[in-house]
Amino acid sequence: MQAMKAGLLEIGDIFVINKCEQEGAEGLEQDLRVMLEMGGERVAGWMPSMCRIEAINGEGIERHRAVLYREGFRQRQKQERVRTEFLESLNSSVKKGLVQRLSENGELDRMVEAVVQRKTHPYTLVEEIIRRFSRCIGQNGVTLG
């Protein structure tokens, strides 16, 4: 029920129905399947897996784990987490380096003032900075792809 309220049906890869020992679990699974089918086209016809568990006695937990690994979900999840961490680290390092270089001679303050006075646009300045530092990096033997 929480998935329905939060709009998570569109993004879930696997749905786990817990407390299946309780009345209504079977009906909930059927309702979820109907809603998923009505939800529209998914990537490459992907239909999320459905796993019923009874956490209180451990039933279904191993099936759930098997589904996660069989469907490659754990691997995709790990790759996405590593990608996100890498990009955040790269973003932070590049931003820190650029801000430091632009601040050393007051250039950052001049750029901000130019935007405030509407002499230029922030996106124009960003493109200029990227072009300039891409050339510097390229001259030092490193390229930006």
How far from the centroid of its chain's Cα atoms is residue 105's Cα?
A: 37
Read off the DSSP letter of residue 59.
B
- Pair of tokens at residue 128: 């200029």
* pTM greater than 0.85: no
- For 87-131, the pLDDT digits (tens) are 999 999 989 989 998 999 999 999 999 999 999 999 999 999 988
Q: Which helix (H) or strand (E) holds 116?
A: helix 107-116
Read off the DSSP letter of residue 54.
B
Domain coordinates in residue numbering, the chain: 2-71, 75-139
- Asked whether the CA dihedral 14, 15, 18, 22 is positive or negative, the reply is negative
